Amino acid sequence: MDERLLFQVCCLEAVKRRLALTGKETEELFRKHSVYNYLDDGYDVLHTQDQEYMVDDIIDYIKHHQAA
């Protein structure tokens, strides 16, 4: 599996657990707020962070995206 895709899947699963969502709900959230693009664009730096930081960062990104 491609490293970037694996990273995105790991992020999706971690956010799913944190927010107690289904896989489908999390997938829809990621697509609606362009989280996949965010993760892909920032991959070089983002994939070096720990999981807790990444989940917090993704949730913050979604909140800011919703407010825009």
**Section 21-41 average pLDDT:** 97
For residue 33, is pLDDT > 70?
yes
Q: How far apart are CA 21 and CA 24, in angstroms?
A: 8
Query: Residue 67: what pLDDT?
Result: 77
Query: Residue 66: what pLDDT?
Result: 81
Q: How far apart are CA 12 and CA 58, in angstroms?
A: 9
Q: pLDDT (tens digit, 9 = 90+) per residue, 5-19?
A: 999 999 999 999 999
**Section 20-48 average pLDDT:** 96
The reported pTM is: 0.91
Q: How would residue 68 be classed by pLDDT, with cut points 50, 70 and 90?
A: low
Residue-range domain boundaries for the chain: 3-67
* Residues 22, 16 contacting (CB under 8 angstroms): yes
**Residue with the two structure tokens 């991959």:** 43
